[in-house]
Chains A and B, each alone.
Chain A
Amino acid sequence: MIELENVAYDYGGGALLSDVTLELGAGSFHFLTGPSGAGKTTLLKLCYGALVPTSGQVRLFGADLGGMDRDDIALARRRIGVVHQDCQFLDHLCVADNIALPLMVAGRDLLAEGANLKELTNWVGLNARSGAFPPELSGGERQRAALARAVIMSPDVVLADEPTGNIDWDMSQRILSLLVELNRMGKTIMVATHDLALIRAAKALVQARVLRISNHGIQLAGSDL
């Protein structure tokens, strides 16, 4: 699905990531952990083509990112659902419209997709809030709406950046169970988080690989997790 081979990324002030090799295979579940500023978000951005590596190769669904133009990357992103920590909504659109945004940009008929949209908002428990606007939502509601938007195109891969960063434990568990459910449906999942309790809780639900960023590279986390 997504492969990084000897990837390095330099922010200008020195190397943030170097010699990173990673493969997100179909149906896999990965956690990406590490201290703040270690490069978790950068690594996720490299995985969906929002950043271009300083060196090395990123392949999205077999295609080299370096050889893709903006339209190719846009099309690849329709196969990758992204959940941002700050959710990134359009505040002038209601929750239902924000969830349907990937359908809009893909030129899909929203009326024809109405049933799917309703099912999805129901799945994330936001049916009653679908007419609300993003600033009116709680942290947990925002994360669930972001997750719904990330999966509405039925992507092959879901990348989540600190999806439980600003929410309580119960809501974190709920988000986690939704991600596990997606993985059971065959989706490839990668979650960047510094919440070790969440990773431990996930281990009981799903077979996940835990990767830790340290010294600019990634390594498989030990038994301490």
Chain B
Amino acid sequence: MARSGAVIGFFLGEPQAARVVPPTGFTASLTLLSAAAMAFLAIFALALALAAGRLADRWGAELARSSTIRISAPEGQMAAQTEAVLKVLKTTPGVASARVLGKDEQQALLEPWFGPDLPLETLPIPRLIAITETAQGYDPQGLRLRLAAEAPGAVLDDHTRWRRPLVRAAGRLRMLGWVSILLIALTMAAMVSLAANAALAANAQVIRVLRLVGARDAFIIRAFVRRFTLRALTGAAGGVFLGGLAVAFLPAAQPEGGFLTGLGFQGWDWLWPLAVPFFAALVAFAATRRAARKTLEGMS
């Protein structure tokens, strides 16, 4: 309660400390603009990170629990090998269910490449068995060995070969998004530090006068920190508003568009941008405080 009161007091109260620093100067516009620009960029980085995260989770979840067995055998042995595979799967720990794909399903799978009129009966199409795993999963190596013994025409495809690079790529993309946010925060801290140092240098006479009349370091630091924190908060709020608008007007997610059209915020994700101005204010607070402390130590 006392802490929240102090925070509210910092933003709303102590106009006396705020008044001692001249209100204008190029540093005001610099802080405001850089905070707005950085917040705008942060919104896109955040959208990228969240979208990549969703993609990685979806790919991971969709592919992790399923696998396929493909049986390529002469026509006379197909039924027997299918039966043998199903028998093996029934006794394999970690397999929740297994079923042979019907002709219609196989037709649907091949349709995008060969069209709807493909005569499946006349073609040597392998038979497919879809496996759903339990949460624990099965041992693919053990299953392969058993299949080799019971049904030599059966090949297990547990999707890991092509699932892993996809999930890894999405994970990297998510990390890239967060690294971008970190870089944006560091850049903003550097910009605010520069602006604060310039303001402190430009107001050296103000600091001298304040010291002459008995101002403690904490008072002087508070005066500058409050000014820069509020500027960063205001600038970042503007940047978030514009960035949010831009993201909101991106094309909606389309299956044909793939990842790019899914860039944006969904549901509770929209709360993340609201945190950006406060985070920017926090960065400005820390950067200005550090700059002010160093300046005051240098002036003593």
Contacts and interface: CB of A to CB of B under 8 A. Distances in A.
B214 A106 contact: yes
Contacts of A101: 20, 209-210, 213
Contacts of B216: 70-71, 74-75, 105
Given A90-B20, A92-B22, A97-B19, A102 B213 contact: yes
- Candidate in A70, A88, A104 with the most chain B CB atoms within 10 angstroms: A104
Interface residues of A, number: 24
B16 A78 contact: no
A74 B209 contact: no
Interface residues of B, number: 22
Given A77-B212, A78-B214, A105 B219 contact: yes
A153 B212 CA distance: 13
B247 interface: no
B179 interface: no
A88 to B, nearest CB: 5
Contacts, number: 61
Nearest to B217: A70
B16 A110 contact: yes
B168 interface: no
Interface of B: 16-17, 19-20, 22-23, 205-206, 208-219, 296, 300
Interface of A: 50, 70-71, 74-75, 77-78, 82, 84, 88-90, 92-93, 97, 101-102, 104-107, 110, 149, 153
The 10 closest A-B pairs by CB, nearest first: A78-B214, A105-B215, A77-B214, A104-B16, A102-B213, A74-B216, A92-B22, A88-B209, A71-B216, A101-B213
28 contacts: A50-B212, A70-B217, A70-B300, A71-B216, A74-B211, A74-B215, A74-B216, A77-B211, A77-B212, A78-B214, A84-B212, A88-B205, A88-B208, A90-B22, A97-B19, A101-B20, A101-B213, A102-B214, A104-B16, A104-B17, A104-B19, A105-B213, A105-B215, A105-B219, A106-B214, A107-B219, A110-B16, A149-B213
